[in-house]
Structure 1
């Protein structure tokens, strides 16, 4: 602990090394990208907020613990990732994103009593791919997320009276803006390495707000009339 510069040296490096986003790497610190690390905790705040929300009669109520777990893991995994720029940090960061995307996908597919089993097997399969073929991580996440969005838009078109479409579309808009900032940061188009204002950090904060909006959308849904 007396040598912060060498604290992460024995760890397997993340796939992005040596060019991990715009923020300059603080090689002399235990936290290699402080702005990106600190902003990751926005997801932890969303997870804690979700945990304290009162129960609602929404059909989503039994699935809220899955959302809480995903939000907390995204936040803690992302903070670990940017603090260490290690492969282990990358793994837990992306795994949290998989947890949320798979939840969105399966919630509308509704496997019923088998939800927990199907969810666990789906995440396990993605985790194995993430470990052995990490270069596929973004493609697999994008495919899962786009599938979930497509299913949700179809459900929204069929059951609009029971839903609040503005919340879902607002969440999509936030996520689209977050992704645009991620891309500008990743390509160096919008980049000041020494600044605390990082495009990737804004991606974290806006992504967390999008997740919170998604939870509000799900919990506002009214059950079908009997």
Structure 2
């Protein structure tokens, strides 16, 4: 089991290193002129983040752009889990989410989508980039909420065809957030999604204490709280150095990505997971 976990980690790291190479190649061969003519985002106009906006570079904010690859790493990891779960079906030892590989695949794809969308935004600091970034954020948040709902209402079983329809509906819901987030401020909408997910995680923990790791749950919530605080400090320009390799918003990316993965792991890695267990 540990060998499988290491293999998935190695493959995910390899793909991520390849993406770092792609990012480096783009940033060294292209210039910031490619973004000219596109509407600048409000955050760029107000200088929302600490990192210096170097409009001459293809990546206007290099550190904040590269740090999004943490989402890519976890997205690739979860996609591989989904493919493994699909290959191992049907297995009586599979837990509820292992029996629904499409749901894991959606989680992985949403993380990759967020990685690309947020990198696009910090590279260009454009209005459309910010919209894609936020839609990726809501994609991950909505998918985690759906995973939690799926486990809390564990008595509901879906056929394979119903699962495909269900995933299609969730994808349409995620895409609808392109418009929804223009109507409801993210300062209200995003915390509401996160808190609702955590209420459901708490309920599910008490439903299945023997099959859930409280440490995964606690670690995830501590990381997201710390991440939100660091993000706020970055916006407030506290301890800010625009030219430093340390950027608070990039740390937000790292911690938020890890927190999302741990929330997923809370459901995926259980004593009944015979096909792959964490070390």
Q: Same fold (TM over 0.5)?
A: yes
The corresponding residue for 2:265 is 216
Q: Which runs of 5+ in 1 are unaligned?
A: none
Whether the aligned pair in 1 keeps the contact of 2:68 and 2:116 (CA below 8 Å) is yes
The corresponding residue for 2:9 is none
Whether the aligned pair in 2 keeps the contact of 1:182 and 1:200 (CA below 8 Å) is yes
Task: Please state if 1:12 is matched with 2:39.
Answer: yes
1:125 to 176, 183, 189: 176
Cα deviations by residue, 1:81-127 (Å, 9 ceiling, x for unpaired): 10000112111111111111111222233385353244134223322
Partner Cα separation in structure 2 for residue 122 and residue 108 of structure 1: 16
In the TM superposition, what is the alpha-carbon distance from 1:3 to its structure 2 partner? 8.0
The corresponding residue for 2:62 is 34
The corresponding residue for 1:190 is 239
Q: Which runs of 5+ in 2 are unaligned?
A: 1-25, 89-93, 151-155, 273-279
The corresponding residue for 1:145 is 194
Whether the aligned pair in 2 keeps the contact of 1:59 and 1:221 (CA below 8 Å) is no
In the TM superposition, what is the alpha-carbon distance from 1:67 to its structure 2 partner? 0.8
Kindly report which structure 2 residues correspond to 1:36-185, keeping only aligned pairs within 5 A, or say none.
36-53=64-81, 54-55=84-85, 57-61=94-98, 62=100, 63-110=103-150, 112=158, 113=162, 115-130=166-181, 132-133=182-183, 136-185=185-234
Larger Rg: 2
Partner Cα separation in structure 1 for residue 95 and residue 30 of structure 2: 51
The 4+ residue runs of structure 1 with deviation greater than 4 A are none
Whether the aligned pair in 1 keeps the contact of 2:224 and 2:256 (CA below 8 Å) is yes
Whether the aligned pair in 2 keeps the contact of 1:59 and 1:222 (CA below 8 Å) is no
Partner Cα separation in structure 2 for residue 109 and residue 208 of structure 1: 21
Query: RMSD between aligned alpha carbons?
Result: 2.2
Answer with 201-210 or 156-165: which moved more.
Answer: 156-165
Q: Taking structure 1 as the reference length, what is the TM-score of the superposition?
A: 0.88
What is the number of residues matched between the two proteins? 221
CA distance 1:149–1:9, shift in 2 (3 Å): same
CA distance 1:125–1:184, shift in 2 (3 Å): same
Partner Cα separation in structure 2 for residue 212 and residue 3 of structure 1: 33
Answer with 90-99 or 116-125: which moved more.
Answer: 116-125
Q: Taking structure 2 as the reference length, what is the TM-score of the superposition?
A: 0.72
CA distance 1:66–1:13, shift in 2 (3 Å): same
